[in-house]
Amino acid sequence: MIIEDIKFKTRFANDDGEEVIGIIYDIPTDGLFQVYWPGPNKQLRYEWYYKDGKQDGISKGWTSTGKLKQMRNWKNGELISKKEWNNKGEVITNEKYG
C-alpha cells in the first residue's frame, strides 16, 4: 500500500538533525507503509511492513539523497536486529536482539 495523500503535517529531523516539516500518513494494519521526504521528487524516506497492526519484516530508511541509512528487522512488533550507515556508507551500528 503506497499512500500519497497528505493527511497531517508533523516534524522530522533532517540528516543534519535540524527540524523540517514532514508528512505523516495513516498507518495500515497490514501491508506496506511508506513515508516520503518533503518536496516534488517523492524521494522515499522510510518503508515499513505491518502484520496485524505490528511492524513485521524489514524496515528501511534513506537519506534525502537516496542513500540507505538504516535497516531494521521486526517480528510481531519486536525489534530483532538493526543496521545503520553513516553518510560515507560505513556501517556504524550492527546489532541483534533476543
pLDDT at 91 over 90: yes
User: Within 10 A of 29 (CB to CB), how many other CB atoms are there?
Assistant: 10
Q: What is the DSSP string of 6-26?
A: --EEEEEE-TTS-EEEEEE-P
Q: What is the rounded distance in angstroms from the CA atom of residue 77 to the CA atom of residue 79?
A: 7
Quick: pLDDT tens for 21-70.
444 445 567 888 888 888 777 788 888 888 988 889 999 999 988 999 99
11 pLDDT tier (thresholds 50, 70, 90): very low
- The cell numbers describing 81, all together, are 536486529
User: Is the alpha carbon torsion for 69, 89, 56, 30 positive or negative?
Assistant: positive
Stretch 65-87: mean pLDDT: 94
pLDDT at residue 13, as a whole number: 44
Q: Residue 10 — pLDDT band, cuts 50, 70, 90?
A: very low
